Structure 1
Amino acid sequence: MQRIALTRRGLASLALATAVMGLLRPAAAALVPGQQEIVQRVETYFNGIHTLAADFQQIAPDGSLSTGKLYIDRDRGGMRFDYDPPSKILLVAPGDWRLIFYDGSIKQVNVIPLAETPLGFVLDKEVKLEGDVTVEAVREREGEIDLVLVRTKEPDQGQVVLTLAKRPLELRRWTVTDAQGLTTTITLSQVQTGMPLDRKLFVWRDPQLFGWPED
């Protein structure tokens, strides 16, 4: 497989798209009925979202901070991460099988199957936390719920922890761990749902050909 060269910031951002690690864990216990009910509530929450926009903060394994804007259009199957300057990183899911990752600092494009990304399931027509992903654990604490997700066919390859506020139910953050056990955390704020989103947000236009969006 061809190795790809990415900047340190690009590698941290790529953790949004690939949850691959070689950590072995014991088999997870089956969820109890109360936990299964929470999973169903989370599925209902995601299925009730048509569009979403939010600010995000990304903390990389080295502690560096990036910010930007997240857009999701479940009706179109689109997702977009716009990173604020000075970052030159852009991630776009245009509504097919792809998540396109662009690192403008080295002018490199990488294409990742959406099904292999931590949040790919959010764009399914019906969100079901089973099949391609499995809920390995449900953790509750005051005001928040954690869902630990693994890929069903390769449970030893990694995990993503989704954290949601309890009341009202709302996605707050997620954490991805890489092959060395380093974590990247993405925290959302100013979450809004149900607003119209410009379909152009989810059209992939290679910045190498068309220029950076704000240029």
Structure 2
Amino acid sequence: MKRALLALLFLSGCATSGYGHLPADQQADVHRIETYMNGVTGMRASFNQIGPDEGHSSGRFVYMPGHLRLDYVTPHIMELVAGDGHLVLDDMDSGAVTHLSLKRNPLGLLLHHPIRFDRDIQVTDVRRGQGSLQISVAKANNPSQGLLTLQFSDIDGKLSLMGLQGVDARQNRFSVSLNSVEEGVAFTPTVFTPPGG
């Protein structure tokens, strides 16, 4: 993550978009990730999250290209729905409903549809590990607005999303790890209807 942050600071001075600047093997990895993410018809998992204040939370993660939903169970019941450029968080404990634009939020980089890591998105880092692959991306025209890292298992050439890490413009960080991931899950459109929508 430190290397990705340094790349973010370096690239904020030059507007390199896409991933054509990467070595051929990394370009191939980025293309694999694009193909995988756009092919996800529906994903469900349990998640654990560490927030900017180092607070821990957990619940259920639901994703399909362009849409995300998090149903928090701990520390208390909350519902987050993101898509169409907006994020809505309903805190059942306090009754507060928060509306945010995804323009300056790292999650916005995940919720383009189709996902393409070129044009207005810049790939800042690609890393391979034993049975793992991760990619870090930012906005090409303003990388300092946020960085998103997608983490995958990569077993026998098969990718599976295993986690997200983000850093926003104020250097607030979050990480989400996924467990018991199910793919190919069918959801009704109402699953991604924002609270109060």
Q: Name the TM-score, length of structure 2 as normaliser.
A: 0.79
5+ residue gaps, structure 2, are: none
Structure 2 residue 35 is matched with structure 1 residue 44? yes
- 1:195 corresponds to which of 144, 162, 185: 185
Structure 2 residue identity aligned to 1:139 = R
- For structure 1, the 5+ residue unaligned runs are 1-20, 208-215
Q: 2: CA distance between counterparts of 1:73 and 1:160?
A: 17
Q: Secondary structure at the match of 1:125?
A: coil
How far did residue 189 of structure 1 move? 0.9
Separation in structure 1 between the aligned mates of residue 70 and residue 32 of structure 2, nearest angstrom: 26
Cα distance change, pair 60–114 in 1 and its aligned pair in 2 (3 A): closer
CA apart distance, 1:98? 2.1
**What percent identity do the matched residue pairs reach?**
30
Show CA shifts across 1:73-119 (max 9, x none): 33xx43211000442322113x5332212234443323223454434
The equivalent residue for 2:145 is: 157
Equivalent residue runs for 1:200-211 within 5 Å: 200-206=190-196
Q: Distance in 2 between matches of 1:178 and 1:133?
A: 15
Alpha-carbon distance change, 197 to 129 in structure 1, aligned in 2, over 3 angstroms: same
Shift of 1:187: 0.2
Partner of 1:26: 10
Per the alignment, residue 131 of structure 2 pairs with 143
Distance across 2 between alignment mates of 1:44 and 1:179: 28
Change (3 A) 1:86 1:141: closer
1: CA distance between counterparts of 2:64 and 2:33? 18
What does residue range 114-125 of structure 1 map to in structure 2 within 5 Å?
A: 114-125=102-113
Offset of 1:122 from its aligned partner?
4.1
Check 1:101–1:119 CA distance in 2 against 1; reply closer, same or farther (3 A cut): same
Residues 1-215 of structure 1 correspond to what in structure 2 (within 5 A)?
25-27=9-11, 30-74=21-65, 77-93=66-82, 96-167=84-155, 168-178=158-168, 181-206=171-196
- Distance in 1 of aligned mates of 2:80 and 2:86: 10
TM-score normalised by L of structure 1: 0.73
Q: 1:193 to 1:115 in 2, by over 3 A?
A: farther
SS at structure 2 position matched to 1:80? strand
Seen in structure 2, the aligned counterparts of structure 1 residues 58 and 31 have a Cα distance that, compared at 3 Å, is: same
Report the alpha carbon displacement of residue 181 of structure 1 after superposing the two structures with TM: 4.2
Contact 1:46 1:122 in 2 (8 A): no
Q: Structure 1's 60 and 86: CA in aligned 2 closer, same or farther, altered over 3 A?
A: closer
